[in-house]
Chain A
Amino acid sequence: MERVRNQDRDAFAVLVDRHLDAIHAFNYRLTRNAEDAADLAQETFLRVWSSAGTWKPKRVKFATWLHRIARNLCIDAHRRRRDSEQIDVDTLCSDEADPDEMPARERLCAALASALAALPERQRTALLLCHRQGMSNRDAAAVLAVSVDALESLLARARRTLRTELRDYRPPG
C-alpha cells in the first residue's frame, strides 16, 4: 500500500488482484445487479488509487477501509437508482441445485431473497459482511462505523427476521 501511495501501478495491480473478487461479490450482493457491481468495483478501486494517502493503517485494516468505500458507493448508487430497483431472484440463487430438490429449494431461495431485500440496508450489510465477506464482528463494525455492540444488534435483528420469514420453508421430513 505504501507503494500505491507513491503511484506504483504494479503494486496497485497486485492490490486489485487480491481484493477484486471480494469487492465485486460484496457489491453484487448489495446491488443485486451484475453491471452495477462491476462499475462500482471499478469506482471503488479508482477511489483507492486517488485517496491512498487518506488510509490510516494504524486505525483501520485495509480490507475494512476498502469495504467502507464500496459500501458508501453502493449506497450512493442505490439512492440514484431507487426507483428502478428490481429484485432478481434468479441471480441470487446458485445453479448447483439437485433437480429433485429444485422446487423447494427455489422457493426457499426466493423467500430468502425477498427477506434479505426487505431488510434495512445496515442489517443486510452487517449480515453480508459477517456471513459472506468473512469479517469478524469487530471489522464489520468498523465498516459500518458503529460499535461492536451495535453491529451485533443489527445482526441479531437481521437473523431474527430471516428466521421468522424462513420458518414456513422447512425442508421435507
Chain B
Amino acid sequence: MSRPIDINDFEDALDRHGADSSLWPETVRIRATALLESSARARDLLAEAKRLQQALSDALPTVPAPPGLKTRILANLPRRDPWLEWLTMKRWRLVALACVPLALGFAVGLNVVEDTASWEDRVLVAFSETEFAEFELPGDE
C-alpha cells in the first residue's frame, strides 16, 4: 500500500492535471487514491474540481465552423511559387543566395588583367599635354 499524498500536493495535482485522474502521473494517482479513501477534505476538493470541469464544458460549448467556410478557404488559396518556397525553407539557402553577388564580384576581380598604368599616371600625362599646348614657342608652327 502506497503512502497517501499530502493534501496540499493533492490539491496541486488537481490544479495541474485536472479532475480526471486517469490523466495523472501513475505514482501521483496511486498515492492520491490512498488519500481519497481516508480524507473527506480530499474528496471535497475532487468534487469541486469536477464541478469546475463540468462548468467549463457548459460555458464553452462546441461551436462548429459556419457552413461555407471550407469553400471560402479553398477558393482563396493563393498560387505558390515552388522555387521561392524551396529557397525560404532553409535559412542557409537564403544566406547562400545573398553570398552569390559577393562571390561573383570576387571571381570577376580575380580575372581582370592588371593594368600597369595607374590613374595618377594617366592624369599626370593629360595635364602635361595641356601645359605644352598652352605654352608653344613662337615660330614653332
Complex interface: chain B residues within 8 A of A130 (CB): 18
Minimum distance in angstroms from B6 CB to a CB of chain A: 16
Q: How far is the CA of A152 from the CA of B63 in the complex (A)?
A: 26
Instruction: Choose among B65, B77, B82 the residue that contacts A38 (Cβ–Cβ < 8 A).
Output: B65
Complex interface: chain A residues within 8 A of B69 (CB): 20, 24, 38, 41-42
Instruction: Choose among B48, B49, B53, B63 the residue that contacts A37 (Cβ–Cβ < 8 A).
Output: B63
* A-contact 0/1 string along B52-67, CB 8 Å cutoff: 1101111111111110
Contacts A155-B15, A162-B52 given; does A34 touch B66 at CB 8 Å: yes
Complex interface: chain A residues within 8 A of B57 (CB): 131-132
A66 within 8 Å of B by Cβ? no
A1 within 8 Å of B by Cβ? no
Complex interface: chain A residues within 8 A of B108 (CB): none
Residue of B nearest to A105 (CB): B58
Residue of B nearest to A132 (CB): B60
B3 within 8 Å of A by Cβ? no
B43 within 8 Å of A by Cβ? no
Q: Other than the known A93-B61, A159-B14, what 10 A-B pairs have Cβ atoms closer than 8 Å?
A: A12-B77, A16-B73, A28-B63, A38-B69, A92-B59, A131-B53, A157-B15, A159-B15, A162-B56, A166-B51
Minimum distance in angstroms from B97 CB to a CB of chain A: 16
Contacts A7-B80, A16-B70, A16-B74 given; does A159 touch B49 at CB 8 Å: yes
- Which of the 9-residue segments A46-54, A57-65, A68-76, A78-86 touches chain B? A46-54
Complex interface: chain A residues within 8 A of B88 (CB): 53
Residue of B nearest to A167 (CB): B48
A113 pairs with B76, CB closer than 8 A: no
B122 within 8 Å of A by Cβ? no
Complex interface: chain A residues within 8 A of B77 (CB): 9, 12, 46, 49
Instruction: Choose among A12, A21, A97 the residue that contacts B74 (Cβ–Cβ < 8 A).
Output: A12
Q: How far is the CA of A87 from the CA of B60 in the complex (A)?
A: 13
